[in-house]
Amino acid sequence: QVASLADRYEGKFDIGAAVEPHQLEGRQAKILKHHYNSLVAENAMKPISLQPREGEWNWEGADKIVEFARKHDMELRFHTLVWHSQVPQWFFLDENGNQMVNETNSEKREQNKQLLLERMQTHIKTVVERYKDDVTSWDVVNEVIADSGALRNSPWYRITGTDYIKVAFETARKYAGDDAKLYINDYNTEVPSKRDGLFRLVEDMLKQGVPIDGVGHQAHIQIGWPSLEDTQASFDKFSGLGLDNQVTELDISLYGWPPNNAYPTYEEIPADLYEAQAERFDQIFKLYEGLGADLSSVTFWGIADNHTWLDDRARQYSGGVGVDAPFVFDQDYRVKPSFWRIID
Ligand code: XIL
């Protein structure tokens, strides 16, 4: 039995994995229990999974993940209460079935806004009341900033302005209680324009008394990008506001963007690419350790290379045949060079 990742980083930060309910069995369950002390749902807790139609709740998959975390004494991150993607369209339809965003009458626009905020509050209240004893960290809103640093022009934003962000955090706090940790989660938080836009929003929200406890950095990164300097600067900037940081969706793609050079099979991936990935894992985990109390959790967006959302993109950009391999366990659950570099 190899040493455990969770033990290695004990007292520094949690080690988490994103899972689908069907992954909680067999080899994957064994790896989870040994190497990880935190879980998050890859899809099962998104609005479209939990409330596909208004008032129709589907808890099955989410409950399974909660059960597993409970049974094995793992932390649980909740992903995600509010997002522009994987959200059912009924949220944004008025009572006549029309798209709220198209409304031009100002009185009706205000009514729509209130209706949307009410639906969001009902969603948050229902979910939080069910899981508040199990979840320690909540992604309250996900990806609300565009790469430019401007606010993302989503239906949420077009209908409510930034009120949805404020109300989402306030509602989460109200039902989850003071001990719950509430996060604003996003990708490319290392990119200066985006980092600064996120910072301006968070600073402004904190001034208004909005209960934000921390920033979730997705960290869908590559071997050569982003730089360690930009990564460090982003953590430092948010800790400077007194906020916690969590790495919420770590994967290190073997490829640049777009991944149009993806290898068609695992066998064809050269050993030196895995070595370069291992070096990158080593550097990034050293950076994480150096953050001390400013970083409380590091979650991988999967367990092993056989199941990663990056495969969809590798395939899409490489003529339907590419694979990616972004984790420290390979497609057969064996440890990779990357594993040895972060355990030593
Ligand atoms: C991804 C899942 O991994 C996929 O299975 C799904 O098809 C799409 O969503 N940022 C997020 C995650 O916040 O929820 C996304 O997860 C990956 C990008």
The CATH number assigned to the domain holding 99 equals: 3.20.20.80
Query: What pLDDT band is residue 56 in, cutting at 50, 70 and 90?
Result: very high
Angstrom distance (rounded) from CA 122 to CA 167: 12
218 CB near ligand 1 (under 6 Å): yes
What three-state secondary structure class fits 54?
coil
Give Dmax (Cα) for the chain: 66
Angstrom distance (rounded) from CA 12 to CA 76: 17
181: phi then psi, degrees, rounded to nearest 5: -100, 125
Query: What pLDDT band is residue 104 in, cutting at 50, 70 and 90?
Result: very high
Arithmetic mean of pLDDT, 16-45? 98
**Residue minimizing CA distance to atom 7 of ligand 1:** 309
Name the pTM for this structure: 0.98
Split into its structural domains, the chain has a count of 1
- Complex ipTM over 0.90: yes
Average pLDDT over all residues of the chain: 98
Cβ atoms of 259 and 324 within 8 Å: the answer is yes
Q: Which domain holds residue 260?
A: 5-343
- Answer whether residue 1 shows pLDDT above 90: no
Contacts 24+ apart (CB under 8 A), 152-157: 152/84, 154/84, 155/84, 155/91, 155/92, 155/100, 155/101, 156/82, 156/84, 156/116
- Ligand 1 centroid to residue 102 C-alpha, Å: 28
**Residue 83 Cα: closest atom of ligand 1:** 13
Q: For 89, which DSSP code?
A: G
Angstrom distance (rounded) from CA 170 to CA 174: 6
Q: Tell me the angle at which helices 228-239 and 271-290 cross, rounded to the nearest 10 degrees.
A: 30
338 CB near ligand 1 (under 6 Å): no
- Ligand 1 centroid to residue 221 C-alpha, Å: 14
- Residue 37: the pLDDT is 98
Arithmetic mean of pLDDT, 84-104? 97
- Ligand 1 centroid to residue 301 C-alpha, Å: 9
249 tagged catalytic: yes
